[in-house]
Structure 1
Amino acid sequence: MHRFIVVGGGAGGLELATRLGDRYAPHKNKGGVQAQVTLVDRNPTHIWKPLLHEVAAGSMDPFTQELEYAAQARWHGFEFQQGDLTGLDRANKRLTLGTVLDDDGAELLPARELEYDTLIIAIGSTTAFFGVKGASEFSLALDTVSQAERFRKRLIAACMRAEHQVHEPVESGPGTSSTSTEPRIQVAIVGGGATGVELSAELRNTAQVLSAYGLHKLDPRHDVGIVLIEAGPRILPALQERVSTATAELLTKLGVKLMIGETVAEVAPGMIRTASGKTVRADLTVWAAGIKAPAILSELDGLPVNRLGQLIVRRTLQTEVDDNIFALGDCAACPWPGNERNVPPRAQAAHQQASFLMKALAARLENKPLPEFTYRDFGSLVSLGHFSAVGNLMGGVIGGNMLIEGLFARFMYMSLYRLHIAALHGYARMVLDTFAHWLRRTTLPRVKLH
């Protein structure tokens, strides 16, 4: 049987492995073409990455949203192998997985080699610190559930400590933003993209809920400060200016301080220094200023990468030098005809590429020419927690371009995750999952309190 290996269980990779298993697994397709499908991921569970800011703010319990890869494999006819991609032998069509350790550092799974006929790489992206001094040491990224949970616990602890500490304001000096009216605790978010914007709004809600449940007696608006620092001329630089303007107005109403046009030069314990000479107090710092492809991609047996470390692929999503290796999602630099830049690293792009590869890989099994991928931009949506949402719908959705905000935008944003669930489980189970999620929310606080 043809051997498919999908490396990376993110939005695109997991959807692709699920659909390949449903179509080609021997026990599901006894009368047609059969194939062996294997999914590889470093973690045992999946969570939709755009939800991590909600995990960090405590407004989503990751353990109710995580999906076990092993269970998904059992239900949909593919095999799951846990481990990091550590090496590739293109000549022998073989990849190497690293050792898996348990929580105590003992070996759980040894290093292994897997053979493939078609390899699909979908390992996503990681946070880019751009060489900023102290950024990787003294700020938190939101790439994984464990990182998001770590930030959430540190935020709750900081609020509880701040309530019982004597407030001694820092004396203001040249270029220093500290004043006698500064918040008791301040969270600094570096990066005004979607993650930074969504997290800042969610944190405002978190501060209010923690106060309402008595975890601290601070004023959630004045004693808990949120600063969003963006190096460019506006927040949400990848979206249209009117979306950015509408979002900035909403954040300002929520009490989020925006520092636009400020490049971070250094992150130190308790503070951030900008290139213009300003010093910003930061009891907690979140780094959401950009992404890059995982470093392993530049070490994979001669596969070409671009300056961001992404695998360079053709419009068929095949790598430039090897027709047996495909890439999709954030780790792939895919041409976007009619645009100066490549297909953007968004969940909707990964979803479209997974759907495209189902057709392309079917053609490959039948020795037919492969089609070319065309990205369709349906717009972008940014959640501002339960306060609001904002975005723009484009192209095939409405036949034009329309700014949306408020309840309708919030509904559209939540629908994106439900469509992901439907791609993994089908629409019937998606409806049941939505109902079960609603029932859980009726018996739990809106923010995780511990």
Structure 2
Amino acid sequence: MAAIDQQEASTAQRTRHSQQTVQSTPAAAHRVVIVGGGVGGLGLATRLSETLGRAGLAQIVLVDRWPTHFWKPLLHEAASGQLDPATHQLQYAVQAQRHGFEFEQGELAALDRTNRHITLNALYDADGREILPSRQLAFDTLVLAMGSVTQYFGVPGAAEHALPLESVAHAEAFRRKLLDACLRANHARRARTAQADTPVSINIIGAGATGVELAAALRDTVRLLNRYSPFSLDPVRDFRIRLIESSERVLPALSETISARAQKMLGSLGVEVLNATRVTEVRTDAVLTSAGEPLPSDIAIWTAGIAGPPVLRTLDGIAVNRNAQVQVNRTLQCTNDANIFGLGDCAACPSSDSADAFLAPRAQVAHQQALFLARALKCRIAGEALPEFVYHDAGTLVGFGREGTIGSLSNSLLTQPVFVDGWLATAVYKLIYRRHVMTLTGFARMALDSASHWLRRRVHPVIRLH
């Protein structure tokens, strides 16, 4: 009996030790929850997993409402049909498995700052059946990297009749509408109906980088569509592409040199540019402007402004500005909660140039903030003081399809940005995306991915027709 009792005691002791180990492991690992898998969020999750995660110092959880990642600067190419988004998407579950973080698909619904957990909405399929229930995720550090949504500025009919360009789904919806409009117009030409001489009218509202690149890409697209009989419309006579901008010039956030050159290139492409023109209403078949005369519209797309996701206004007292962006300080911590960080388009980050200025919503800002937080969170977990984020503008490049690329490049060795165009600008423009892929997947996978895209463009049509 004594031997049995001793054996049972030993077994109980091992069981208690095992339970203590299981309970202490999650307590020892700092839990970082990142909401949003864009340029900043996915990059941060990948880096933290390779450093803090593999060292056992942190548990990384990435949350996104979509199952795949797509680089948003390519959306204009997907919308114009010159790029198949399926070949450029990265599955979050695969990235999580390869790099050692967790992925939860869902949409942020609520935040409990006191108990440090977030709530995700239930996930449903196309038939309305529940796939995943509403869930709560605990965190020690929360990073909000949720990107942005379209800002319509209260223009009547804009939200109902002007497509946004926020996601692959929006790009596909625009592309489908474009093909439908071309089929309809081609039939009218052949049947010689009353609409036979009416051009397909595409109105792009907002002449920032996205709007300008989309206008140029569409000119390439209609030229390519002319090769195929169902869409054999004259690229010049049968299409009217307008770019409507409320400011005095296109690309108002960039230098006047770049703006003037862009205006000239758009003119050579046959894009009609309406500067200093404010949109007052968007209808199903027309866009109304401050100039007075309605502009015919088969398709309208809104690229004029952004705001933070509306849910940010509802999150348990988190400080946001009037554009629903999280207010953060120079450490990227929320101004009223040190356990919550914000990065990318959804965060209003002070500029180092002025206390009253904030960084523009750009991919390179999110990329640099992700690099910064990957270092800063190591300090936070180690109990050290956090550094301050300093943004270094590397310049801006704007692509015009077959017309080339223009923009400016900058670094710490240059006293001011240098204007670039031609083959150099085009090469750097393409390398930016490849660097993004390499950051997430490594050099070998990036090289194989690039080779597969090169082969695909030589095997498949350069334009998507369905």
Q: TM-score range by the shorter chain?
A: over 0.9
Q: CA deviation at 1:369?
A: 0.3
Q: Which amino acid aligns with 1:278?
A: E
Query: How many angstroms apart in 1 are the aligned matches of 2:362 and 2:66?
Result: 21
Corresponding position of 1:175: none
Q: How far apart are the structure 1 equivalents of 2:229 and 2:408? A: 38
Matched, 1:5 2:5: no
Contact 2:151/2:306 (8 A) holds in 1: yes
- Distance in 2 (CA, whole Å) between partners of 1:292 and 1:377 is 22
1:392 corresponds to: 408
Tell me if the contact between 1:183 and 1:222 (Cα under 8 Å) persists in the aligned partners.
no
Q: What is the CA–CA distance in structure 2 between the aligned matches of 1:377 and 1:124, rounded to whole Å? A: 20
2:62 to 39, 45, 51: 39
Deviation at 1:113, TM superposition (A): 0.3
What residue in structure 2 maps to residue 299 of structure 1?
314
Matching residue of 2:180: 157
- Describe the SS at the equivalent of 2:202: strand
1:237 matched to 2:265? The reply is no
How far apart, in 1, do the equivalents of 2:71 and 2:185 lie?
Answer: 33
Alpha-carbon distance between aligned partners in 1 of 2:131 and 2:247, rounded to the nearest angstrom: 45
Q: Aligned partners of 2:369, 2:413: CA distance in 1, in Å?
A: 18
1:403 aligns with 2:426: no
Does the CA contact (< 8 Å) of 1:94 and 1:113 recur in 2? Answer: yes
Which residue of the other structure, out of 394, 414, 435, is the alignment partner of 1:419? 435
2:277 match: 262
Deviations 1:193-238 (A, max 9, x none): 0111000000011101111122322101221110000000001011
- Comparing both structures, which one devotes a greater share of its residues to helix? 2
Residue 48 of structure 1 corresponds to 71
Deviation larger for 121-130 or 206-215: 206-215
2:37 aligned partner, one-letter code: G
Aligned to 1:134: 157
* Alignment deviations for residues 84-138 of structure 1 (CA, whole Å, 9 cap, x no partner): 1000000000100001111222111000000000000000001111110100111
Note if 1:374 corresponds to 2:390. Answer: yes
| Whole-angstrom CA distance in 1 between matches of 2:352 and 2:444 | 37
Amino acid at match of 1:5: V
Equivalent of residue 352 in structure 2, options 296, 316, 337: 337
Letter in 1 for 2:343: L
Go from structure 1 to structure 2 and tell me whether the alpha carbon gap of 1:397 and 1:244 turns closer, same or farther (over 3 Å shift): farther
Query: Aligned residues: percent identity?
Result: 47
Distance 1:328 1:304 in 2: 14
Instruction: State the one-letter code of the partner of 1:332.
Output: A
Equivalents in 1 of 2:325, 2:414: separation in Å? 32
CA distance in 2: counterparts of 1:53 and 1:24, whole angstroms = 36
Instruction: Quote how far apart the aligned CAs of 1:397 are.
Output: 6.8
Q: CA deviation at 1:24?
A: 2.5
Task: For 2:37 and 2:63, locate their aligned partners in 1 and report how far apart those are by CA, in whole Å.
Answer: 7
Tell me, in whole angstroms, the C-alpha distance in 2 between the residues paired with 1:386 and 1:79.
41
> Of the candidates 415, 429, 435, which is equivalent to residue 451 of structure 2?
435
Query: Aligned ranges for residues 204-243 of structure 1 at < 5 Å?
Result: 204-243=219-258
Distance 2:344 2:71 in 1: 13
Aligned to 2:304: 289
Distance (whole Å) between structure 2 residues aligned to residue 357 and residue 345 of structure 1: 17
1:125 aligns with 2:152: no
* Equivalent of 2:44 in 2, 13, 16: 16
The one-letter amino acid paired with 2:439 is A
Contact 1:208–1:220 under 8 Å retained in 2: yes
By how many angstroms is 1:395 displaced?
Answer: 3.1
CA distance in 2, matches of 1:399, 1:358: 29
Question: Aligned partners of 1:262 and 1:152: how far apart in 2?
Answer: 26
Q: Tell me the amino acid that sits aligned with residue 158 of structure 1.
A: A
Distance across 2 between alignment mates of 1:98 and 1:357? 27
Does structure 2 conserve the Cα–Cα contact (< 8 Å) formed by 1:167 and 1:184? no
Q: Which position in structure 2 is the counterpart of 1:173?
A: none
Which whole-Å CA distance do the structure 2 matches of 1:80 and 1:395 have between them?
A: 35
Quick check: 2:328–2:335 contact (8 Å CA) kept in 1? yes
8 Å Cα contact 1:9-1:123 kept in structure 2: yes
**Cα distance change on mapping 1:167 and 1:197 into 2, 3 Å:** farther
- SS at 2:333 equivalent: coil
Contact 2:186/2:230 (CA < 8 Å) preserved in 1? no
Q: Which amino acid aligns with 2:41?
A: G
Amino acid of the structure 2 residue aligned with 1:424? L
- 1:378·1:397 contact (CA, 8 Å) conserved in 2? no
Q: 2 CA distance for matches of 1:367 and 1:183?
A: 67
Matched residue SS, 2:95: helix
Query: 1:359 is matched with which residue?
Result: 375
Q: In structure 2, what is the equivalent of residue 273 of structure 1?
A: 288
**What's the CA shift for 1:65?**
0.5
Q: Please show how residues 83-122 of structure 1 align to structure 2 within 5 Å.
A: 83-122=106-145
Question: What secondary structure is seen at the aligned counterpart in 1 of 2:337?
Answer: coil
Would the alpha carbon gap of residues 279 and 301 (structure 1) be closer, same or farther in structure 2, given more than 3 Å must change? same
Q: Is this contact kept in 1: 2:52–2:378, CA < 8 A?
A: no
CA distance in 2 between counterparts of 1:146 and 1:101 reads: 17
Q: 1:215 to 1:404 in 2, by over 3 A?
A: farther
2:267 pairs, out of 248, 252, 277, with 252
Q: Mean alpha-carbon deviation: is it higher for 272-281 or for 45-54?
A: 272-281
**Unaligned residue ranges in structure 2 (runs of 5+):** 1-28
Amino acid at match of 1:62: P
Provide the C-alpha distance between the structure 2 equivalents of 1:260 and 1:184, rounded to a whole number of angstroms: 22
The alignment partner of 2:272 has SS state of: strand
- Report runs of 4+ in structure 1 exceeding 6 Å deviation: none
* Cα distance in structure 2, aligned partners of 1:51 and 1:397: 29
1:263–1:275 contact (8 Å) kept in structure 2: yes
Q: Residue 202 of structure 1 corresponds to which residue in structure 2?
A: 217
> Equivalents in 1 of 2:350, 2:70: separation in Å?
28
Contact 2:404 2:421 in 1 (8 A): yes
